[in-house]
Structure 1
Amino acid sequence: MTEFAINDRAANYGDGLFSTMKVQRQQVALYERHIARLLHDAYRLGLTLDEQSLRREILEQAKQLAEGTLKVLISAGEGGRGYARTHLNRPGLHCSFSPLPDYYSGWQSNGITLGISNIALARQPLLGGLKHTNRLEQVLIKQAIPDDVDDVLVCDEQGCLVEASAANVFWQTGNRWYTPQINQCGVAGVMRSFVIDQLSGDNMAFEVGRYNLQSLQHGKCVFICNALMQIVPVHTLRLADNTLRFSVAPVTQMWHKWQAAYQGEYGSL
């Protein structure tokens, strides 16, 4: 793991961004989507990256890791008095490794139970969708997850559904799929991008918008997704005054159908 300097801006102010990647057989899953998000988020935060150096470093780190989780964190650099950056600040790249969570395979096969977080996400359109390094809201959300659920859905301050604690959410009502907009808060995940492309490619009715929790009342399938867990079906959602049940099989069948497309998005040296 790369160590941070005491005056690094990511450590002091959350001034940076990151992406967490699944590595298998020295290859990075959803590689081009991770690169695109890092470049996009860096641009939004006013950071200039050398794309070729970034690509080379990620693939070299994946080759070294071989199997597991690669976290790539880009800091706004070292130094600068207070919050303001200076012309001397240069982005720094930091990598760390960890095993893939072993419980994800069981989640994928059997589905999970979701609750509802009592912590709302603040709306900030300048940061909406970005995977920046200031993630205190998610820390608080994770700490408050009840023991009787696997994860929670999270809403914004206006009661609109945004995401799970560390994943995006999709659901199907009738023949149409839905997922929340991620332009005011939350993280626009690379797996979310993959799913949207697959739904579009399969010509499935699909909608991105602003929805409250009542939108799930008549859903028949729900899943959450991120780059590590991939697609995880939800079989139970516990609301304050009701418990909803969903079918797991259609989600697992759909994920099986998309496997060839997913395998085609690995990148390696």
Structure 2
Amino acid sequence: MPSWVDGRPAESLSIKDRGLAYGDGVFETIAVRAGRPPLLEYHMARLSTGCARLGIALDVALVRTEILSFASKLGEGVAKLILTRGDGLRGYAPPPTTQARRILQGSPMPAYPSVNAEQGVELYPCATRLAEQPLLAGLKHLNRLEQVMARAEWQSTEYAEGLVRDISGRVIEGVFSNLFLLVDGVLVTAELSRCGVAGVMRAALLERAKAVGIPVEIRDIEFDELLAAQEVFLCNSLYGVWPVRAMAGHHWSVGPLTRTLQAIARDLLDN
């Protein structure tokens, strides 16, 4: 599979890169279908937000052009864009002048079991908690140690994903997905101003749900409210929507709203 560094084919990276040393950067995991990235504008919006908050210079036009060219060559699969602050010397202080580094890696699309989408998945209730850091909340920054630790908690294939909460016990997201609930006819997803990742499929589904008149709330979610929800589902930009059918002995039905949004997600990825 192809890999590029700063727009050119490459298989190596400078050991001075601050992304390696400090996680100083952001990334996007981009689905590629028929040589094109269907959710590109959502990825670019999140990338712009992340770079602006971290103070990393972003040439939006250049990055968009490179992603489109890379996707065309990849054809089908996943394009992972990593954008770091670039090279630096030892020490946390960013160099006064840096050249942001653009890394693109291609890989096959994950072979998720079809039963995940058709019948739903079981969640593992992770003990790992997300720390609150409003400056980084919502961003897809390069420090993913909390997710690494959460994912290491289970090995069994009976769990397709894990539920992650914050240090106060509020429901936030999956390890690599965002979470939605149906509560008394309202589509609810977690407020991500303290921690968590604002997924691009989450953004797209919120936009489409509002457009078709589905009531939506973005707010704190307590654990008991999750258990009492009428429907629960996960989403991300690679697989679309997975219904959640069980967690720790609790069960949910796969309902009509989940199926509606699953179809919308499928359409977003196919067109």
Which TM-score bucket, shorter chain as reference?
over 0.9
Paired with 1:258 and 1:144, the residues of 2 have a C-alpha distance of 29
1:244 to 237, 246, 250: 250
Q: CA offsets, 1:85-117, max 9 Å, x none?
A: 112311000010111111153311221001210
Do 1:145 and 1:151's aligned partners in 2 also have CA atoms closer than 8 Å?
no
Which residue pairs with 2:66 in the alignment?
A: 57
- CA spacing shift, 1:197–1:262, aligned 2, 3 Å: farther
Q: Normalising by structure 2, what TM-score?
A: 0.91
Structure 2 residue 119 is the aligned partner of structure 1 residue 110 = yes
1:38-187 paired onto structure 2 within 5 Å: 38-103=47-112, 105-145=114-154, 147=156, 148-187=158-197
Which residue does the alignment assign to 1:254?
A: 261
Structure 2 gap segments, 5+ residues each? 6-11
CA distances 1:52-85 after superposition (whole Å, capped 9, x unpaired): 1011000000011000000000011001330111
Q: Flag the structure with more relative contact order, 1 or 2, with Cα contacts below 8 A and sequence separation at least 6.
A: 1
Does 2:38 correspond to 1:32?
no
Give the alignment partner of residue 203 of structure 2, picking from 179, 182, 193.
193
Q: Residues 74 and 106 of structure 2 are in contact (CA less than 8 Å); yes or no, is this contact kept in structure 1?
A: yes
Structure 1 residue 200 displacement after superposition: 0.7
Aligned Cα RMSD in Å?
1.5
Aligned length: 260
Structure 1, unmatched stretches of 5+, are: 265-269
Work out the percentage of aligned pairs sharing the same amino acid.
33
TM-score, scaled relative to structure 1: 0.92
What secondary structure, in the 3-state scheme, does the structure 2 residue paired with 1:217 have?
helix
CA contact (8 A) 2:201 2:265 kept: no
In 1, Cα distance between the equivalents of 2:247 and 2:241? 17
How far does residue 197 in structure 1 lie from its aligned partner after superposition? Answer: 0.6
**Inter-CA distance 37–257: structure 2 relative to 1 (3 Å threshold):** closer
Answer yes or no: is the 8 Å Cα contact 1:171–1:220 preserved in 2: yes
